[in-house]
Amino acid sequence: MEIRTVGVVGAGQMGAGIAQVFAQAGYEVSLFDINAEQVQAALGKIEEGYERLVSKERLDPAEAKAAMARIKVAEVLTDMGPLDLIIEAATEDERIKNKIFAELRPHLGPQTILTTNTSSISITRLASATDRPERFMGFHFMNPVPVMQLVELIRGIATDEETFQLLKGVVEKIGKTAANAEDFPAFIVNRILLPMINEAIYTLYEGVGTVESIDTAMKLGTNHPMGPLELADFIGLDVCLAIMNVLHDGLADTKYRPCPLLVKYVEAGWLGRKTKRGFYDYRGEKPVPTR
């Protein structure tokens, strides 16, 4: 089997980035979101992304135009059924993901491979609710997708070897590097990254340092390009909390308990950059620490 057509479900930051890299690599891409305005916003972001690459002479203008033309908007989710590969990139909520797969199920082609961009939820459990657990995998891209080189490939207990090898080839074709992860809560990257961010929030909560001093210490002391609190705002504090809850519930270890301050920020609707407030306030010309 050769994968030629790709469906991306969810046109947020991750979905838009995934659509961009696949279209640039020559795949025919279908993009769907329940919010039509979100799809149009995603198309604008993708076009801007191609324009940046052209301005840096990393992409030919004709190639950018051709890539943009390869992205089509799916009017309804079920239009994606016959495609070769479907990548679910909806919000990090298992109920929503299961609802998407259930709606797609009667419309899927026999060859269609289902994948999820989940950053933490059990692949085996998601696969078991579909009609093709052997053709189901975790396909976890990093944010921002066009820039980050890694893709985590996560097999569920039923995923067959052919599916794994096909997707490994796809990762190579889009110019990225695959890392194989076992199906444990949060896989590799977030199993390591999110507890570090959570610990930084505890450090703030306990008064060990301010937002500014914690981020400065980690940037200059460990050579991280972004401080952990700045990074949390970039990821989205609701996403950080969801992943910490998956770790805490799935591994039953108190070291993964989400910091109460993280919970409080999410309850306040201060989710980071996307809501203009998190550990920093982004409503002015420069981000200002909120604590």
Q: Give the annotated binding-site residues for NAD(+).
A: 10-15, 33, 92, 97, 119, 143, 274
Instruction: Give 73's contacts (C-beta < 8 A, 6+ positions apart).
Output: 30, 31, 32, 39, 43
For residues 7 and 86, the answer to whether their CB atoms sit within 8 Å is yes
From the candidates 30, 88, 117, 119, give the one annotated as an active-site residue: 119
C-alpha to C-alpha distance for 231 and 252, rounded to whole angstroms = 26
DSSP character string of 128-190: HTSS-GGGEEEEEE-SSTTT--EEEEEE-TT--HHHHHHHHHHHHHTT-EEEEE-SSTTTTHH
- 180 classed as catalytic: no
Per DSSP, the residues of 200-213 read: HHHHHHTTSS-HHH
Active site (annotated) includes residue 98: no
Annotated catalytic residue, options 30, 120, 122, 190: 190
Binding-site entries: 10-15, 33, 92, 97, 119, 143, 274
Catalytic residue among 30, 140, 198, 230: 140
206 among known catalytic residues: no
Pick the catalytic residue from 122, 152, 198, 230: 152
- The answer to whether 57 is a known catalytic residue is no
The residues carrying an active-site annotation are 119, 140, 152, 190
